[in-house]
Amino acid sequence: MFTIDAPPEIQNTEYCNYRSPLSTRYASKEMQYNFSDQKKFSTWRKMWIYLAKAEKELGLDITDTQISELESAIHDIDFASAAEHEKLVRHDVMAHVHTLAERCPRAAPIIHLGATSCYVGDNTDLIVIRDGLDMLLPRLAAVVNQLSKFAYDNKSLPILGFTHLQPAQLTTVGKRASLWLSDLLMDERALSRARNDLRFRGVKGTTGTQASFMQLFKGDGEKVKALDKRVAELAGFDKRYIVTGQTYSRKVDLEVVAALSGLGATVHKMCSDIRILASRKELEEPFEASQIGSSAMPYKRNPMRSERCCALARHLITLYSNAANTHAVQWMERTLDDSANRRLTLAEAFLTADAILLTLLNICQGLVVYPKVIARHIAQELPFMATENIIMAMVQKGGDRQICHEKIRVLSHEAGAVVKQEGKDNDLIERVKNDTYFAPIIEELDKILDASTFIGRAPEQVTEFLEEDVVPILLKYNDSLELLEKPVSLLI
């Protein structure tokens, strides 16, 4: 039998219990509160107040005194009492009904009147999802804003492009950042769509038919419809799901988690690129003066923030399958095998996304570029890339293309052998200069090898992308961005 080997005096401390790294290390206080017991159960109490208010407005015998008593107890939750009640009844909603009834004896007869557990549970989840998205979207906009500045500042700085992780034609540092930005804009669109599509479950009863409320209102369907609409309004929703089972469809959770999971994929790709560029010493994330990169190798500057983003992003990506599988097995009007899974999946999806965006913002605020290292790497590869330009220049001077092509082919293979077999620098240009055949263009070689002539319209593409695609999105978040730094729209 396993025993706790910690001394008895510390066995009941928080350090002897499992604590999620999302709450102890990574996620913000605000997002942690959003998924806290205090937020959850105080929102349940608000839901009972909304129900009582709407029922009173529509003619049920509920007094202002009863509603005022409930309002005085929104945040005054006796968690110990609720836990004791749940041990007896094995039902969390009824445990909190009893706990609130003890605190509000005059309102006790009308608490949860006509409702089922999912009235408080599902509607609260929808409020928490809404509030979570409202926190994440400005954080995402802040990342986009910072990365946009970086892209704009470096739009014309040439850098080696890579396809198949092999050197390819040049691009620019800003153009590469614009590719990361493009994905982040898709995430903003997906999260915004999930937020805008979100509706309220409202008051639907045990199987979604509103039968209990029809009984309360003596068969008056219009009053039941008005009750559903009014409760949604009190909760801050202007739309509600017209048809539900006992729960709102878990397809809603799937759509939300899919958008969050998509963000995880974007961030993993971006931070993987940063890690590769850091290994080439071309670009670096922020590194504090006292930061330790390795316990054994003091010289190391590990990209730990990008690595953290990748680690958390992989977890976020995997949560999609949980949401998909949960929706798939909700038989008929509902089953309860969604409950335990959703407690984990929804909270972890939002907390993980929150932690990722906080870390990514820090990265984007302090990205460091090393142009001289980049230039050295370009110089090692550009001679090969410039061969076509050299051939064209020779043709313009009256040379034969086929002869020139063969000359360049032979010299390129010789230079390649020096690089690969001897570990020396690329000396193709020196070989060209030493071959009298190329004498007509020797004076033009520096111009032919100017890296800025190999980047095409990359700088213009970055500016156009920022102006046409990025700025309109950032304008949606202008108020929140102005609390941080100048929006990129003021820089372009």
Pick the catalytic residue from 164, 279, 290, 295.
164
Average pLDDT, the chain: 90
Confidence at residue 295, expressed as pLDDT on a 0 to 100 scale: 47
What are 284-332's pLDDT values in tens digits? 998 765 555 554 554 457 889 999 999 999 999 999 999 999 999 999 9
The confidence band for 482, taking pLDDT boundaries of 50, 70 and 90, is low
Buried residues in 17-37 as b, exposed as e (16+ CB within 10 A): eeeeebbeebbeeebbebbee
Query: What's the rounded mean pLDDT across residues 60-73?
Result: 95
Q: Report in angstroms the alpha-carbon separations of 134 from 185, 192, 318, 354, 432.
A: 16, 9, 23, 11, 61
Distance separating alpha carbons of residues 419 and 469, to the nearest angstrom: 42
In CATH, which superfamily holds the domain spanning 118-165+173-197+249-286+299-370?
Fumarase/aspartase (Central domain) (1.20.200.10)
In 209-359, DSSP assigns E strands to 283-284
Confidence at residue 296, expressed as pLDDT on a 0 to 100 scale: 53
Burial of 268 (0-12, 13-18, 19+ CB in 10 A): buried
Does residue 405 register a pLDDT over 70? Answer: yes
pLDDT over 70 for what percent of the chain?
95
What are 230-260's pLDDT values in tens digits? 999 999 999 999 999 999 999 999 999 999 9
Confidence at residue 74, expressed as pLDDT on a 0 to 100 scale: 95
Reported pTM: 0.88
Confidence at residue 4, expressed as pLDDT on a 0 to 100 scale: 81
The confidence band for 440, taking pLDDT boundaries of 50, 70 and 90, is confident
Confidence at residue 220, expressed as pLDDT on a 0 to 100 scale: 95
Residue 161 DSSP symbol: E
Does residue 475 register a pLDDT over 80? Answer: yes
What are 90-112's pLDDT values in tens digits? 998 999 999 999 999 999 999 99
Q: Which of 14-18, 54-58, 342-346 has the lowest mean pLDDT?
A: 14-18
Residue 443 DSSP symbol: G
Q: Does domain 36-110 have CATH number 1.10.3860.10?
A: no
Instruction: Return the closest-CA partner of residue 384 out of 404, 408, 417, 407.
Output: 408
Buried residues in 94-128 as b, exposed as e (16+ CB within 10 A): ebbbbbbbebbeebbebbbebbbbbbbbbbbbbbb
Q: Name the residue ranges covered by the structural domains of the chain.
A: 36-110, 118-165+173-197+249-286+299-370, 387-448
Residues 210-217: contacts with CB under 8 Å, at least 24 apart: 212/114, 212/115, 212/116, 213/114, 215/114, 216/55, 216/60, 216/113, 216/114, 217/58, 217/59, 217/60
Confidence at residue 293, expressed as pLDDT on a 0 to 100 scale: 53
Confidence at residue 6, expressed as pLDDT on a 0 to 100 scale: 80
Q: For this structure, is 294 an active site residue?
A: yes
Contact 345, 373 (CB under 8 A): no
Confidence at residue 300, expressed as pLDDT on a 0 to 100 scale: 53
Higher pLDDT: 265 or 414? It is 265
72 Cβ neighbours under 8 A, 6+ residues apart: 104
The third-level CATH classification (topology) of the domain covering 387-448 is Ribonucleotide Reductase Protein R1; domain 1 (1.10.40)
What are 195-238's pLDDT values in tens digits? 999 999 999 989 999 999 999 999 999 999 999 999 999 999 99
Confidence at residue 444, expressed as pLDDT on a 0 to 100 scale: 85
Q: For this structure, is 98 an active site residue?
A: no
Pick the catalytic residue from 68, 72, 294, 321.
294
Q: Are strands 368-369 and 283-284 parallel, antiparallel or unpaired?
A: antiparallel
Residue labelled with tokens 């929006």: 487
Distance separating alpha carbons of residues 6 and 10, to the nearest angstrom: 7
Query: What's the rounded mean pLDDT across residues 255-270?
Result: 98
Residues composing the chain: 492
